[in-house]
């Protein structure tokens, strides 16, 4: 078991990574909590014991459940049960659960403590760490949310044993991102060490830029194209698969702009392939349509911002010309 800390002054919190980490729940429960509202999904089936009076609240599966109606339902159920602001919400699941329950915890009674028991690889290396919570609106993903740091995060590797392979691979897409944020030798590490290395990397970034005023944006490496592919809705890609394509695309774009050499592009491709993830934009994709989604703006604009690799590592690079982006999207190296 590896114990880590997200250092945020008085809001610092432990992250435990390892097989059976969920059994540390009682130990990290906020002092004085008399009740725990466990928020999970039917399919998750990861029992937890908070050691105090508790009740389970189920939310539906999938991105559709990550919505305001679910938050309202949760808050109303908490209230009917009598959950107070001294009690605790325990989110048990992947990113949909931690984002939604985290947001419900952020707004219920203007904020109650939340503990995330992350049961997917994606949630363990990304979603559950760093305090971003929120839900989707019909107008777009994650449009409503709050920064609400958990009191603790338990990344139980046992829960990954029953994760569908496609779901696990999706987490590897987020994991691959960390290789370019400075985590070296990721593929030589045990799963426990690899998850911990990603958490440590994210924790360091969040500690210096909790509210994404600067450095935290680098955690979105590969995500500009990934979000466009996901929003386009026609490609049947999981988040991590879309990120994998986005990472290789970002490397090719950086190469095209003279920021990195061809070997760095190969490095991106090799890592993504080693994780058995896709490297290329799906066949038949329309570069113009993807470009429009990347600028999040239907009005004509001939510049776009990306996170790109370069001599000084990853940086936010504004003003990348549309014709260059279209060229690289269209397959030019
Ligand atoms: N998933 C990116 C972040 O937490 O900032």
Those residues whose C-beta lies under 8 Å from the C-beta of residue 11, and which sit 6 or more positions away, are 149
Residue 332 has pLDDT above 80, yes or no: no
Taking CA atoms only, the protein residue closest to ligand 1 atom 2 is 219
pLDDT of residue 331: 80
Q: What is the domain-level CATH number for residue 286? A: 1.20.1090.10
Q: Are residues 175 and 269 in the same domain?
A: no
Q: Is 239 a catalytic residue?
A: yes
pLDDT digits (tens, 9 = 90+) for 176-195: 999 999 999 999 999 999 99
Residue 251 has pLDDT above 70, yes or no: yes
Distance (angstroms) between ligand 1 centre and the Cα of 42 equals 26
| 126 CB within 6 A, ligand 1 | yes
* Mean predicted confidence (pLDDT) in 58-68: 95
pLDDT of residue 141: 83
Q: How many domains does the structure of the chain reveal?
A: 2
- Mutating to test ligand 1, I would choose from 148, 208, 219, 230 the residue with most ligand atoms within 8 A of its C-beta, which is 219
- Mutating to test ligand 1, I would choose from 94, 95, 120, 130 the residue with most ligand atoms within 8 A of its C-beta, which is 130
**Residue 215 lies inside a defined structural domain of this protein:** no
**Residue 216 lies inside a defined structural domain of this protein:** no
Residue 302 has pLDDT above 90, yes or no: no
Kindly report the pTM of this predicted structure: 0.94
**Residue 213 lies inside a defined structural domain of this protein:** no
Point out the catalytic residue in the list 24, 35, 174, 255.
Answer: 174
pLDDT digits (tens, 9 = 90+) for 261-300: 999 999 999 999 999 999 999 998 999 999 999 987 556 5
Last residue of one domain, picked from the residues 173, 208, 243: 208
Q: Are residues 16 and 146 in the same domain?
A: yes
Q: Are residues 116 and 264 in the same domain?
A: no
Last residue of one domain, picked from the residues 146, 173, 208: 208
Q: Are residues 164 and 248 in the same domain?
A: no
pLDDT of residue 218: 97
Last residue of one domain, picked from the residues 208, 231, 266: 208
* 220 CA closest ligand 1 atom index: 2
Q: Is 202 a catalytic residue?
A: yes
**Residue 195 lies inside a defined structural domain of this protein:** yes
Q: Are residues 240 and 187 in the same domain?
A: no
Q: What is the domain-level CATH number for residue 123? A: 3.40.50.1970
* Mean predicted confidence (pLDDT) in 141-170: 95
Distance (angstroms) between ligand 1 centre and the Cα of 202 equals 8
Residue 278 belongs to domain spanning: 221-329
Dihedrals φ, ψ of 315, to 5°?
-145, 155
DSSP 35-67: EEEEEEETTT------SSEEEEEEE-SSGGGSB
Helix (H, G, I), strand (E, B) or coil at 88: strand
DSSP 269-322: HHHHHHTT---SPPTT--HHHHHHHHHT-SS--SEEEEEE--TTS-EEEEEEEH
pLDDT of residue 300: 59
Distance (angstroms) between ligand 1 centre and the Cα of 152 equals 17
* Mean predicted confidence (pLDDT) in 187-207: 97
Q: Are residues 176 and 244 in the same domain?
A: no
pLDDT of residue 195: 98
Q: Are residues 141 and 275 in the same domain?
A: no
DSSP 254-281: HHHTTSS-HHHHHHHHHHHHHTT---SP
Q: Strand pairing partners for 307?
A: 316
Q: Is 212 a catalytic residue?
A: yes
Q: Are residues 233 and 321 in the same domain?
A: yes
Q: In the predicted model, what is the mean pLDDT of the chain?
A: 95
pLDDT band with cut points at 50, 70 and 90 for residue 219: very high
Q: Are residues 204 and 75 in the same domain?
A: yes
pLDDT digits (tens, 9 = 90+) for 31-40: 999 999 999 9
- Cα 8 → chain centroid: 19
């Amino acid at each position: 078991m590896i114990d880590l800390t997200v250092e945020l002054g008085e809001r610092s919190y432990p992250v435990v990574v390892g097989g059976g980490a969920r059994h540390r729940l009682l130990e990290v429960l906020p002092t004085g909590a008399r009740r725990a509202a466990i928020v999970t999904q039917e399919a998750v089936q990861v029992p937890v014991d908070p050691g105090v009076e508790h009740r389970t609240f189920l939310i539906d599966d999938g991105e559709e459940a990550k919505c305001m109606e679910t938050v309202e339902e949760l808050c109303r159920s908490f209230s009917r049960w009598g959950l107070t602001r001294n009690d605790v919400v325990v989110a048990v699941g992947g990113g949909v659960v931690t984002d939604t329950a985290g947001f419900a915890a952020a707004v219920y009674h203007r904020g109650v403590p939340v503990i995330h028991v992350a049961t997917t690889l994606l949630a363990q290396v990304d979603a559950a760490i760093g305090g971003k919570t929120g839900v989707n609106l019909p107008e777009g993903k994650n449009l409503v949310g709050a920064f609400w740091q958990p009191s603790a995060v338990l990344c139980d590797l046992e829960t990954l044993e029953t994760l569908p392979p496609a779901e696990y691979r999706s987490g590897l897409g987020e994991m691959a991102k960390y290789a370019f944020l400075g985590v070296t030798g990721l593929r030589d590490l045990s799963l426990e060490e690899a998850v911990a290395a990603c958490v440590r990397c994210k924790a360091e970034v969040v500690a210096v830029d909790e509210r994404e005023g600067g450095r935290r944006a680098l955690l979105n490496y590969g995500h500009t194209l990934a979000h466009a592919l996901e929003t386009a809705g026609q490609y049947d890609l999981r988040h991590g698969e879309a990120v994998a394509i986005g990472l290789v695309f970002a490397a090719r774009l950086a190469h095209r702009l003279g920021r990195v050499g061809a070997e760095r592009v190969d490095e991106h491709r090799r890592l993504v392939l080693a994780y058995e993830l896709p490297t290329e934009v799906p066949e038949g994709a329309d570069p113009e349509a993807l470009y429009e989604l990347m600028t999040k703006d239907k009005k004509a604009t001939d510049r776009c911002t990306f996170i790109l690799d370069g001599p000084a590592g990853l940086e936010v690079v504004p003003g990348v010309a549309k014709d260059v982006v279209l060229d690289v999207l269209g397959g030019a190296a």
